[in-house]
Amino acid sequence: MKKRTLSILLFASLGGFAQNPAPAGPQARAIALTGATIHVGNGQVISNGTIVFDKGVITAVGNGETPTNGAEVISVAGKHIYPGLISPAATVGLQEFESVRATIDYQETGSFNPNVRALIAYNTDSEIIPTIRNNGLLMTQAMPDGGFISGSSSIMNTDGWNWEDAVLKADDGLWLSWPGYFARSFDYDTFAVSLKKNEQRQDAINAMMATFSDARAYADLKNPAPKNLKFEAMKGLFDGSKCLYIRANYGKDIIEAIKFAKQAGVRKPVIVGAEDAGRVIDFLKENSVPVILGPMHRLPNLQDEDVYLPYKLPGMLQKAGVLVSLSYNGEWWRTRNLPFQAGTAAGFSGIDKEEALKMITSNTARIMGIDNVVGTLEKGKYATLVVSKGDLLDMRTNVIEHAYIQGRHINLDDKHKRLFHMYREKYGQPDIGK
């Protein structure tokens, strides 16, 4: 008995302090959340709404009259229900401490790595993950970086015992870094960074085109011998089963990258970063190419630019009919502020909050090809959703009270809360806030 207590204590002290909470078990019984304002994610808002889900899937969404059919009814009156937010182009799970090389796993050596898979390095035990969940992020795209083709990304749920368990969609796309029209150069005399025309660009594009042509020809082979793992990984680009996420910012680069992708036979190109997308709106629309914007929390690139341009850009694109999603391109812990980027878009670019919400839910799901299962709160989709005290897009009210991933009720504990409570108790302070 004594021995057992000791082991429990030991376990508790480890589990209670150093580790993330255990992943949630499968949904045991049907649940109905009632009395909430439901933000569907497609622009629609249902006040005093009810959402019912069972076995991880939404079975009904509607107003207060919606039948709950024997589900466990949980009143969340006055609260707001949102689809779980999707964070694209992130390194969450792939890095822990930026300055500690041993904890960094998003960049492989070499420049042509279509076959490496970010999924494999995704660490479900990262202490970052529970902290982003607490701001509503229930899915994150594990993205490789570096080189010309960095590898393939996967979309992960932010809860799971291991990567196999957490994955929502494996290998959803490949990541390509477009050779820039401008190259950065650093002057050691003045310590100034400047951009100059990239003279090696055309060579790089030619080499890429040759590689894509080879890959496309390879994709036509029934039984290729020898087997080329890199080209195997690229097959999906040509049949539309994988996206090609292209990192490009300058307007000219965006145009060239899209033209390249079309010519190379890539079916689903997506532009990522797109800081200068404002001047290629028509081109993006005509070519039906979606955009994942990089951090809005950046400064304007040009001295003479509108000081609010980064804040206005999402709305400009959305209003013009470009499919646009928001991201923290290449960041990890900071992605938890994704809902506030949507809020900023609503505050500064003349679109309403529901339109802004799309950019972190349904639009992102459509771009990634997971809109059949997530992105909106509609019947038949996964019950991946959060209940917030108030407006999810505003810091003051983004307080997640419940989170469900595929109907599994997530334990919202995280390292930050644990340390908060530890010291709060030390000082005898009240338990307020999220």
Closest among 415, 416, 409 to 23, alpha carbons compared: 409
291 is an interface residue for other proteins by CB under 8 A: no
Which two tokens mark 432? 């307020």
Q: Count how many Cα atoms sit within 13 Å of the Cα of residue 397 in the half-sphere of its side chain.
A: 13
Give whichever of 53 and 250 is closer to other proteins, judged by the CB atom: 250
Cα pseudo-dihedral 214, 217, 222, 226, rounded to 10: -20
194 is an interface residue for other proteins by CB under 8 A: yes
Single residue of 188, 223, 225, 226 touching other proteins by CB under 8 A: 188
Closest among 432, 348, 318, 342 to 395, alpha carbons compared: 342
Longest dimension (CA), the chain: 75
Phi-psi region of 35 (alpha: psi -120 to 50; beta: other; left: phi over 0): left
200 is an interface residue for other proteins by CB under 8 A: no
* AA letter at 394: D
> Which window, 17-25, 93-101, 105-113, 362-370, contacts other proteins (CB under 8 A)?
93-101
> Which window, 205-213, 263-271, 362-370, 393-401, contacts other proteins (CB under 8 A)?
393-401
259 is an interface residue for other proteins by CB under 8 A: no
> Which window, 56-64, 155-163, 282-290, 391-399, contacts other proteins (CB under 8 A)?
391-399
Single residue of 29, 55, 262, 279 touching other proteins by CB under 8 A: 279
Single residue of 290, 330, 375, 407 touching other proteins by CB under 8 A: 330
SS3 category, 134: coil
SS3 category, 184: strand
394 is an interface residue for other proteins by CB under 8 A: yes
> Which window, 77-85, 115-123, 191-199, 215-223, contacts other proteins (CB under 8 A)?
191-199
How many residues contact other proteins, by CB under 8 A?
66
Is 126 in contact with 378 (CB distance < 8 Å)? no
195 is an interface residue for other proteins by CB under 8 A: yes
Least Å distance, CB 171 to other proteins, is 26
User: What is the Cα Rg of the chain in Å?
Assistant: 23
343 is an interface residue for other proteins by CB under 8 A: yes
Kindly report each contact of residues 411-416 with a partner whose C-beta sits within 8 Å and lies 24 or more positions away, as own/partner.
Answer: 411/21, 411/22, 411/23, 411/24, 412/130, 412/133, 412/134, 413/20, 413/21, 413/130, 414/20, 414/21, 414/127, 414/130, 414/131, 414/133, 414/134, 415/20, 415/127, 415/130, 415/131, 416/131, 416/134
> Which window, 79-87, 166-174, 203-211, 292-300, contacts other proteins (CB under 8 A)?
292-300
Single residue of 347, 373, 411, 412 touching other proteins by CB under 8 A: 347
Single residue of 26, 192, 199, 200 touching other proteins by CB under 8 A: 192
> Which window, 36-44, 65-73, 240-248, 419-427, contacts other proteins (CB under 8 A)?
419-427
Give whichever of 28 and 299 is closer to other proteins, judged by the CB atom: 299
Closest among 235, 273, 267 to 254, alpha carbons compared: 273
Annotate each residue in 144-183 with x if it binds other proteins (CB under 8 A) or - if it does not, as one string: --------------------------------------x-
Is 348 in contact with 315 (CB distance < 8 Å)? yes
Give whichever of 151 and 343 is closer to other proteins, judged by the CB atom: 343
Cα–Cα distance list, 332 to 19, 23, 88 (Å): 19, 20, 11
Phi-psi region of 402 (alpha: psi -120 to 50; beta: other; left: phi over 0): beta
Q: How far apart are CA 375 and CA 314, in angstroms?
A: 18
Which two tokens mark 246? 């292209």
297 is an interface residue for other proteins by CB under 8 A: yes
Pairing between strand 85-90 and 269-273? Answer: unpaired
252 is an interface residue for other proteins by CB under 8 A: yes
Annotate each residue in 94-133 with x if it binds other proteins (CB under 8 A) or - if it does not, as one string: --xxxxx---------------------------x-----
Least Å distance, CB 403 to other proteins, is 16
Residues that bind other proteins (CB under 8 A): 96-100, 128, 182, 184, 186, 188-189, 191-197, 250-252, 279, 297-304, 306-308, 330-334, 336-337, 340, 343-344, 346-348, 393-399, 415-417, 419-420, 423-424, 427, 429-430, 432-434
